[in-house]
Amino acid sequence: MSVTLENVLVVAAALPSLYGGLCWVRRGNNARRMANWVKENHAQAWRELHWLARLHDWAGVEVLIKKGLITGDEVKHFRERDERLERCTWSGLLISAALLLVLAVTEYVGSLFH
Mean pLDDT of successive 10-residue segments in the chain (114 residues)? 78 92 97 96 94 94 94 95 96 94 87 82
pLDDT at 1: 59
19: nearest Cα among 114, 99, 102, 111: 99
pLDDT at 96: 94
Count each helix (H run) and each strand (E run) in the chain, helices first.
5, 0
9: nearest Cα among 95, 112, 76: 95
Residues 6+ apart with CB under 8 A from 54: 46, 60
91: nearest Cα among 79, 83, 103: 83
Residue 49 phi, psi dihedral angles, 5° rounding: -65, 155
On the 0-12 / 13-18 / 19+ scale of CB atoms within 10 A, 6 is: middle
